[in-house]
Each structure stands twice: as C-alpha cells, then as structure tokens.
Structure 1
Amino acid sequence: MRERDDLDVAVKTVRELENGIRDNIELIELGEAEGDAEVITEAENALLELKQVARRTQIETLLSGEVDTNDCYVEIHSGAGGTESQDWANMLLRMYTRWAERRKMKVEVLEMHDGEEAGIKSATILVKGHNAYGWLKTESGVHRLVRISPYDSAARRHTSFSSCWVYPVVDDSIDIEIRDADLKVDTYRSSGAGGQHVNTTDSAIRITHIPSGIIVACQQERSQHKNRATAMAMLKSRLYEMELQKREEAANAQSASKTDIGWGHQIRSYVLQPYQMVKDLRTGVESSQPAAILDGDIDEFMEAALAQRVGVATDVVSDEA
C-alpha cells in the first residue's frame, strides 16, 4: 500500500504539471490573440511556479533510500550558552514545524524540556508525511546563530549553537534485536502542559542503550506503558539510522567531494547582525532572507544538500525546459 501511495502521488504530480503547462500556454496564446497583457503575465507567473514544482519533483526522484519515504523523528538540543542557546533551539524547532506545515505534514511533540527563562533545552518531534525522512535527513548537524542577544542588557553580539538529529521511523518489517541487559530505563515526571495526572506521576520514560550510548525519552502520553513503547520505537529507529549512516560513510569513503553529515558537524550559519545572511557550509547556498528561512522556507537548502549527497547538479531544471 505504501508503494502504491508513492506511485499514486508521483503520477498525480506529473499529470498536474502537464495540465498546468498546457492550460497556461493556451492562456498565453489567448492573451496574445486578444492583446490582454494581464492574462499573459498571470500565465507566465503560473508557469514559473510550475517550473519550481517540476524542479522539486525531480529532486524528489533522488529520494531512493530504503527508508526515505518513512516518517521521521527530529531531535533538537541547545548547546552551551544558556538562555540565548535555548532560545535558538526553540527557533529551530519552530522552523522545522513550519516547514512541515508548509508541506502538509503532521507534527507531534513527543518530548520537550523548557529552558529556565526562555526557549527549550531539548525537544523531540515526530514528523509524519510523504518522504519526511528523505527530505529532513540532510538537516542533521550543528546550526550556528549570530545575533544581538535580546537577553543581553549590554546588547552585545552572541554566537549560539544548537544540534539537530534526524532519524527514520522504522516499521515492523525491520527486525532490530535489543537485549534488556543493554538497557537502562528511568522514569520521571513530565514537564510542561498536560494536566494534573501527567505532572504528578512518573509517567515519562528515558531509555539509555548502554552499548551505543543512545538516549531517548518520551513524555507524550499519560500512560507509562505507552511512553515506554514509543521510546523503544525511537530507540530502534536511532539504532537503524546509525547502521544506515555507517553504510553511507563506507560507500562515500572513496569520494572526496562528499561531505560527512554527522553529529557535531556544523552545517549551516544563520547571521542576523550585523548583516543578514544564511549560508550552508556544505553546499555554499546562501540567502539574504533569514526571516523567511526561520519561518520554514528551507527547501532550497534541503534540495542542494540532497543533490550534493547523491552527486548531481542542483540546477536540475534548465531555463529552456
């Protein structure tokens, strides 16, 4: 059924592109025949929008990994720097949430720890949608923010770091063996909104996988058993993603042009003062519109990183097309 749905989406997109191109060309011909410049302009603008859709669709054909079509978990952690770093982590959380909403994906907050004054110390969200992992997998790494801190009374410029980690939701067909002896399970009280029961009982779960050092946590449900089941699913996904990353690193070992995208590797810099620029350090893609980027308009960065990952040019649709 998943494969059928993927094919259905692909066929539907191509048909919509074909119909859109045909209809707008007819509108241009009609506008030229009647001398209506406004109709011609509207049709030309619509064709430019279709070009972007075609470009994005062609990039999506690169999402051929075995779990690229799966849903995914996104973990965000603030770095050193106190309130400023925690506020930056919260800004990243909002950026990815808005990106998912733009693509009509569903977002569930599984775990969140608020900062002392503002922002968050960490958060884990579940993004559900077509090719969610395929798109977001290129976002794993360290994100750097430079700005005049609103939390500094001296109005000094601060540099903050926050980490993003993306891993796929694995389905039941993938068998991952986890021994109970390798696990350390802690229970604690949930924080934040959730009602009297959630905040007064030890329903939240934190699981540490001792051999790998991976830690996952969930406080979404009132039931400790449900939180444990969700946390175990997250742990399996992390272990599976770790194995996928090992395979990719081995496959790319001979290619000097490929950049390792791993935990602790700075991938993007967001500068708000003294000038405004967002630059991806892997692909060189830049934007002078950080407000739009932080509002979820990050497709250009994701497309370039994905294209570089598979070794193709980012400008996959020519002007003549």
Structure 2
Amino acid sequence: MAELNALAEDPSFWDDAQTAQKLMQERSRLESAFDAINSITADLSDNVELAELAEMDEDSGLLDAAASALSAVKDKAAAAELEALLSGEADGNDCFVEIHPGAGGTEAQDWAEMMMRMYSRWANARGMKVDVLETSDGDEAGIKSATLKFRGQNAFGWMKTESGVHRLVRISPYDSSARRHTSFASVWVYPEIDDSIEIEINESDCRVDTYRASGAGGQHVNKTDSAVRITHEPTGIVVQCQNDRSQHKNRSQAWEMLRARLYEKELQEREAAAQAEADSKSEIGWGHQIRSYVLQPYQMVKDLRTGVETSDTQGVLDGKIDEFMAAALSARVGDDANA
C-alpha cells in the first residue's frame, strides 16, 4: 500500500494514463479492504468490552444490546470475507450480461425481460451503473434477447455465478385458461477487458452485419442501419450492439464485446469449473437449470447448486439475490481450492 501511495505522488505517474488508472483502482480496492478490516476490528473490540461491562454490572439490557451488535459485526465480517474471495483474474472488472429466452414464445420472452429487470435492480442497489447495449423486443411481450453492461466494483466477480439456465413456474398471464407454465431463460456473463490484455482477432474470421435497431430509441435509431452484429465464425460467438445512434460507436463497442467474449472463453479453458458451467448451458431446458423460481402452486426460489432457498419470491424478482450469489461464490471458490 505504501508503494502505491508513493507511486501516486510521483509527478510522472500519469504519463501512462492506462497503467495509472489501473494502479489507482487497485489502490482504491486495497483501501476499502483495509478500512473494512479496521472497522470490524474496532467494532469487535468495543462490543466485547461492552459485553464484559454488562456482565460485571449484571445489566441484562446492555448485554442484549452488545450481543446484537456482535451479531452485526459477524455479518459484516462475513460480507468482507466474501469480498476477499473475489480475487479471480477478472473479478474486479466490469462485465457484460446476455439474456436469452428458451423455447416457449411469449411466456419465455416475458421471463427473460423479468430477469433483465431483476439484474438491473440488483446492480442499481449495489451502486453499479447499467448500460443497455442491445435489446430485441418479443413478438407480443418480453424480449428475444438483451445485452447489458454492468459497471462497478467487482461486477464480474459477483455476476459470474449467475451464468446458466433459470427456470420459472407460474400461472401464465398470457394463457386464457390460466394454466401453469414452465419457462426457461439463459444468462451468459463475461468480463470487460482492457488494452493490456492481448486478444488476437483475425478480422477475416469475422462477419460484420448492420441492421436497423428495434425497440425504444427514437425515430433516428429505427430509420437507419446503426445497429451492428459481429459473428466470429471459428467459435460461433455472436455479439451485437444498438445502444447508440452512431454506427461507428456501436461497431467499436461490438468489437470490445467480442474481445471480451474470446477472453472469457480462454479463462474457461483454463478453469475446469468454469468449463463445466459453460457445458451446462448447451441446452436451455430441463436438466440444465441452476435456479428455479416457483410462483405457483407455492412460492419458492431455490438454487440447485447450493440448496439455498427462500419464499420471498417477489423480493428476489426485485433484485434481492445476494444470498444466492454469496453461496454460489463460496462454493465455487471452495471447489477451485480443492481442485
């Protein structure tokens, strides 16, 4: 930490802006970690002393207050421990999130849009910024696809555990007979990468298509071929962007997304756990889901990897998914350590 502070005070520090920015981000991360440790240590010491004083004075009210405060310190320490687990190669990076409905038409497309809302609310609650890079509206409701970019501390580290297939069971609002339907949607998360990471792309291996954007965006967006789709033919990876009126800006963002996808693919090939996760996405349907969201005939959201469950289905759909992410992250780090 002292070395980073000394570097930041060097007059030539910002001569290389990209390197300087990365070092400042690392400095900020370390400062946050040290602040958390110091705060937890101080709270623990203060409340242990308070508990000892309460016992000496036989003050049951003060003892209860100390016990409650110590419980809060325990939760705070658990949260700090999870943050410390986010030490993967790209965990601190921003990330891209792709959402696609499975088979099922309008019902599945509506579920995909519900998931887009859930993740956006989760990110906003954590102080992250969410950019909608691409959406394709469903035929009657919902979406056929969406690509989001999450910008914030450890965005990829948290969101990487959400890659997989998510299953919804509910009474369909689109079924006049009010029958129960099962729908699926897939989530694919990959990290943004900076220029210091070299990913070679042969442009002759790529097909670039332009098309008219769909959905909201104003008359200009819908009247010009500003949206860009890039297909990397050797891998079959497809990325697309339509969030800007400028085709040039959309093209630049799409190339950035492709580099990120190829980098994420490389990470998967080096990590057995991540590769197994990718294999589980081969089909958007039964047997491949990571989490079930049951709204009928009972209320339950259950993660099939960790066993974590809750009956607060509305809270989950409103973005309260930290418990699921924390459990999946802990399990994933444990698997990596035992490998």
State whether TM-score is above 0.5: yes
- The correspondence for 1:222, drawn from 215, 238, 245, is 245
Is 1:303 matched with 2:319?
no
Bigger Rg, structure 1 or 2: 2
| Structure 1 residues 80 and 19: alpha-carbon distance in aligned structure 2, compared to 1, 3 A threshold | same
Secondary structure of 1:260's aligned partner: helix
| 1:260 aligned residue (268, 276, 299) | 276
Q: Which gives a bigger RCO, structure 1 or 2 (Cα 8 Å, sep 6+)?
A: 1
Match of residue 242, structure 1, among 265, 272, 279 = 265
Q: Hey, what does 1:318 align to over in structure 2?
A: none
1:92 matches 2:108: no
Return the alpha-carbon distance in structure 1 between the equivalents of residues 45 and 173 of structure 2. Answer: 51
Total equivalences in the alignment:
305
**Amino acid paired to 1:83:** T
SS of equivalent to 2:276? coil
Does the 8 Å contact 2:269/2:275 carry over to 1? no
Match of 1:50 in 2: 73
5+ long unaligned stretches in structure 1:
253-257, 314-321
Mapped to 2, the partners of 1:259 and 1:287 lie a distance apart of 28
Whether the 8 Å CA contact 2:111–2:168 is kept in 1: the answer is yes
1:7 aligns with 2:7: no
Q: How far apart are the structure 1 equivalents of 2:275 and 2:252? A: 35
User: For the structure 1 residues 23 and 191, does the alpha-carbon distance in structure 2 shift closer, same or farther, using more than 3 Å as the test?
Assistant: farther
Instruction: Provide the rounded CA distance (Å) in 1 between the counterparts of 2:63 and 2:228.
Output: 60
Measured against aligned partners, the alpha-carbon deviations of 1:111-136 in whole angstroms (never above 9, x if no partner) come to 11111222111111101111111111
Matched, 1:74 2:97: yes
CA contact (8 A) 2:40 2:73 kept: yes
Larger displacement relative to structure 2 (14-23 or 139-148): 14-23
Secondary structure of the structure 1 residue equivalent to 2:139: coil
Q: Secondary structure at the match of 1:53?
A: helix
Match of 1:316 in 2: none
Match of 2:207 in 1: 184
- 8 Å CA contact 2:137–2:145 kept in 1: the answer is yes
User: TM-score, normalized by length of structure 1?
Assistant: 0.88
Give the match for residue 274 of structure 1: 297
Equivalence map 1:148-227=2 (5 Å): 148-227=171-250
Q: 1:79, CA displacement in angstroms? A: 1.0
Partner of 1:311: helix, strand, or coil? helix
CA–CA distance in 1 between the matches of 2:222 and 2:69? Answer: 51
Which sits farther off after the overlay, 95-104 or 138-147?
A: 95-104
Question: What is the rounded CA distance, in whole Å, between the counterparts of 2:208 and 2:43 in structure 1?
Answer: 54
**Residue identity matched to 1:56:** A
Structure 2 letter corresponding to 1:50: V
- Which of the two has greater helix per residue? 2
Contact 1:259 1:282 in 2 (8 A): no
2: CA distance, partners of 1:23 / 1:312: 36
Amino acid at match of 1:303: A
| CA separation of 1:29 and 1:234: change in aligned 2, threshold 3 A | same
Unaligned runs of 5+ in 2: 1-22, 283-287
2:144 counterpart of 1:128: no
Report the residue type matching 2:39 in the other structure.
E
Contact kept, 8 Å, 1:270 with 1:290, in 2: the verdict is yes
Aligned partner of 2:5 in structure 1 is none
Pair 16,210 (structure 1): closer, same or farther in 2 beyond 3 Å: same
Deviation at 1:291, TM superposition (A): 1.4
**Which deviates more, 15-24 or 182-191?**
15-24
Q: Distance in 1 between matches of 2:167 and 2:239?
A: 24
The residue identity in structure 1 corresponding to 2:252 is A
Residue 298 of structure 1 and its aligned partner are, at CA, apart by: 1.2
CA deviation profile, 1:192-233 (whole Å, cap 9, x unmatched): 222222221111101111110011000111111100000000
